[in-house]
């Protein structure tokens, strides 16, 4: 049963809402805003706003001038905005390559990154074939039963990999879902060796997927690019026809992002990450 409006309102945190209200008002005032002006704008008592504002200043999301006592946006907000911009720019960079992969395979394509121990579909593209697999951007997918997830897992150090896998409950999504850490390890090792990963109806009983790693200038896997198609159109044998083009397009994106295999290898990068803890 859906919660009522009263229940939704009750579950909301008032101080958090007010904190964001303050940020929104300050963001619209280029010259800053005083506490009394905030009070009038938001119809809140100055004592309440004082504590909220000082907390936001302490966290770095607001700053206050020593002379004019006006609140302005702080560095913390710009750091958050920068992170969002980076993802937007990354999407814009990858999307033309997704279009090419969709044209080559005829299937829907997608690009995923890590998010809270899961694979986040950052952006996607439709393929030219009829009856496309719909997978919205912004969707989170488990890593143990998806091709994109196996690619992301393939770059982790042993310690971090073990931490991730220890948290997986291996809940069966379909009859083909991997059931334990040993089965997953075999597929992740294969993805590491071959630079390609598969999902044979493990997340959706009617869908097969393939994915390859995207590396940055340090050699780190920052994402996975892949495609998905219905089982009646995409057999396991038929998927082999697209290994080369998937790897090739992934390599082009990596090159665009500064990855030079001869200069920085994945193994050397992993070793550096282990050494740095």
- Same domain assignment for residues 126 and 177: yes
Band of pLDDT at residue 4, cut at 50, 70 and 90: low
User: What is the number of H-type helices and E-type strands within the chain?
Assistant: 11, 8
Quick check: 69 pLDDT over 50? yes
Q: Residue 30: which CATH number?
A: 1.10.10.10
Quick check: 67 pLDDT over 90? no
What is residue 275's predicted lDDT score, i.e. its pLDDT? 29
- Same domain assignment for residues 127 and 198: yes
117-129: pLDDT as tens digits: 889 988 888 887 7
CB 229 within 8 A of CB 206: no
- Same domain assignment for residues 117 and 234: yes
- Say if 180 falls within a structural domain: yes
Chain centroid to CA 137: how far? 10
- Same domain assignment for residues 221 and 256: yes
For the segment 155-165, the average pLDDT, to the nearest whole number, is: 89
- Same domain assignment for residues 87 and 186: yes
Quick check: 260 pLDDT over 90? no
Range of the domain at 161: 83-275
pTM above 0.85, yes or no: no
- Give the β-pairing of 197-200 and 62-64: unpaired
Distance of alpha carbon 142 from alpha carbon 119, whole angstroms: 6
Phi, psi of 258 (to 5 degrees): 100, 5
Structure tokens at 27: 């963001």
Q: What is the dihedral of CA 65, 68, 71, 73, to 10 degrees?
A: -50
208-237: string of b/e by CB count within 10 Å (b at 16+)? bbbbbbbbbeebbbbbbbbbbbeeeebeee
- Say if 78 falls within a structural domain: no
Number of domains composing the chain: 2
User: How does DSSP classify residue 67?
Assistant: T
CB 114 within 8 A of CB 100: no
Distance of alpha carbon 90 from alpha carbon 223, whole angstroms: 10
- Same domain assignment for residues 66 and 88: no
CB 70 within 8 A of CB 33: yes
For the segment 168-182, the average pLDDT, to the nearest whole number, is: 90
Structure tokens at 20: 């964001």
What is residue 5's predicted lDDT score, i.e. its pLDDT? 47
Structure tokens at 199: 């999902």
For the segment 67-91, the average pLDDT, to the nearest whole number, is: 78
User: How does DSSP classify residue 201?
Assistant: S
- Same domain assignment for residues 140 and 50: no
Q: Which residues pair with 199 in a beta bridge?
A: 209
Average the pLDDT over each of 6-15, 40-49, 71-80 and give the range with the smallest value: 6-15
- Same domain assignment for residues 32 and 50: yes
- Same domain assignment for residues 39 and 111: no
For the segment 160-184, the average pLDDT, to the nearest whole number, is: 90
- Same domain assignment for residues 21 and 132: no
184-193: pLDDT as tens digits: 999 999 999 9
User: How does DSSP classify residue 33?
Assistant: B
Q: Residue 116: which CATH number?
A: 3.30.450.40
């Amino acid at each position: 049963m859906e919660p009522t409006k009263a229940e939704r309102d009750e579950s909301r945190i008032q101080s958090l809402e007010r904190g964001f209200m303050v940020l929104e008002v300050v963001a619209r005032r280029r010259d800053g805003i005083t506490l009394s002006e905030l009070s009038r704008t938001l119809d809140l008592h100055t004592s309440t706003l004082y504590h909220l504002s000082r907390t936001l200043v302490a966290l770095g999301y607001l700053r206050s001038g020593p002379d004019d006592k006006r609140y302005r946006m702080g560095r913390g907000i710009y750091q958050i905005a920068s992170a969002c911009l980076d993802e937007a720019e990354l999407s814009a960079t990858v999307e033309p390559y997704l279009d090419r992969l969709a044209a080559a395979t005829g299937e829907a394509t997608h690009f995923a990154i890590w998010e809270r121990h899961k694979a986040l579909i950052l952006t996607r593209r439709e393929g030219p074939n009829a009856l496309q697999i719909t997978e919205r951007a912004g969707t989170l997918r488990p890593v143990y039963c998806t091709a994109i997830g196996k690619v992301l897992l393939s770059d982790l150090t042993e310690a971090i990999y073990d931490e991730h896998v220890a948290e997986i409950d291996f809940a069966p999504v379909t009859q083909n879902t991997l059931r334990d850490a040993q089965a997953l390890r075999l597929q992740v090792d294969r993805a590491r060796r071959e630079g390609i990963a598969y999902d044979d109806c493990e997340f959706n009983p009617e869908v097969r997927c393939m994915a390859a790693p995207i590396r940055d200038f340090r050699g780190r896997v920052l994402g996975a690019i892949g495609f998905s198609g219905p089982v009646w159109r995409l057999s396991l044998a038929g998927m082999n026809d697209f290994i080369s083009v998937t790897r090739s397009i992934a390599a082009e994106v990596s090159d665009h992002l500064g990855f030079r295999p001869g200069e920085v290898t994945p193994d050397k990068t992993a070793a550096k990450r282990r050494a740095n803890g």
